[in-house]
Structure 1
């Protein structure tokens, strides 16, 4: 049996074939039961080539420590996909279990090519290069927007009006120096 080197972190009922499915709840299909608030995670260093964290970071107290754990268990250049609700969307503020809010600059603190990381490199050792950023907007159904020009317009609208951007998604690569 081939070792699965993809991790579905905080999977809930989103059980994915070919992934190690981790959640804090004992749900059918969950491979590893572990609270993401308990560090370290039950995996060895540099294990995973891909990690997805869909709608979990907003539920966790310590974003920095969580990102450091994701970085620790990621291989160099591992693909990391993170999806979080936007700070001024109804998706972000309705759920009483949400502890954190995020905007389009939140993950720049982890990207060594971005000014926020360059100005404050002492916040964390975790480094991720943002390769793609998407906004989810909702007009009767969700649309995933990646076009840079459209994103600029949506960005401006989201500062003027709430609930324009509903969800942010980042595709990142783990950066580890040898």
Structure 2
């Protein structure tokens, strides 16, 4: 088990947290109008940076080296990022979406109303910070949410999920929490894992096939409760003992941070 930052442990994945670079169009795929002119539920068009000079870079007249290439031809488009269920944690450079109009999101939407107002393969990164445990009370709705996340992520795009740990009071204290998660939940969404389990006749639910998605777990971090972090800091407990207690005692791990990558195109049967 790899150790993470203070108060955390990485428990699964490769430790990669950024989407892999992918070739693609230089223009953001969204065709929605600017927020000032768009109705609620539509996507604001991102503002693209121009080259510093707005034209060809300086260089010798008639030159053919890199300095003669117009900057606009070699610009990298901004990363398309969706902060889904943003609440009041709105982030600059992200499309902030929520169903709570009082937080004034860029996009007002109900996560459990489908399809979402986004295009296929639109986002490099999606953040769901303490959101997923609140949606999809029925398996049908949960399946629809996961399929929409898979649809709007680019190939190789990363979904980052923060959820409370099921053995912490914060999970059970909120009556709007409808589903608990562990790192294994997301391993079950990997088609490669499902295929291996099928070959070995393993007793797991083949969620990749059941949901019609293919996600690869690239990082899974457990975040310890601050009281236990303080005990470790004071030398009252070591990390090995803390890990053991996390499997035996409530309120040791406060939450999980999971990053999963969309493996596309989907190569399984179409439901």
TM superposition score category, shorter chain reference: 0.7 to 0.9
Partner of 2:82: 7
Distance 1:85 1:163 in 2: 11
SS at match of 2:256: strand
Task: Give the alignment of 1:29-178 within 5 angstroms.
Answer: 29-61=104-136, 62-114=141-193, 118-119=197-198, 120=206, 121-140=208-227, 154=243, 156-177=244-265
1:71-120 Cα shifts (integer Å, max 9, x gaps):
10000001210111111211111111111111231111112343598442
SS at match of 1:110: coil
Distance 1:10 1:19 in 2: 12
Distance 1:128 1:49, change over 3 A: same
Distance 1:164 1:131 in 2: 23
Question: Residues 109 and 117 of structure 1 are in contact (CA less than 8 Å); yes or no, is this contact kept in structure 2?
Answer: no
1:20 aligns with one of 81, 91, 95? 95
1:122-178 Cα shifts (integer Å, max 9, x gaps):
2122111111110011133879xxxxxx69962x43331112211111112111028
SS at match of 1:84: strand
- TM-score in terms of structure 2 length: 0.57
The alpha-carbon deviation at position 29 of structure 1 amounts to 4.5
Distance 1:170 1:152 in 2: 23
Higher strand share: 1
5+ residue gaps, structure 1:
144-149
- TM-score in terms of structure 1 length: 0.85
Partner of 1:147: none
5+ residue gaps, structure 2:
1-46, 49-77, 199-205, 231-238, 267-271
Distance 1:36 1:116, change over 3 A: farther
Question: Residues 157 and 262 of structure 2 are in contact (CA less than 8 Å); yes or no, is this contact kept in structure 1?
Answer: yes
SS at match of 1:114: helix
Distance 2:240 2:106 in 1: 37
Distance 1:114 1:66 in 2: 21
Aligned residues: 171
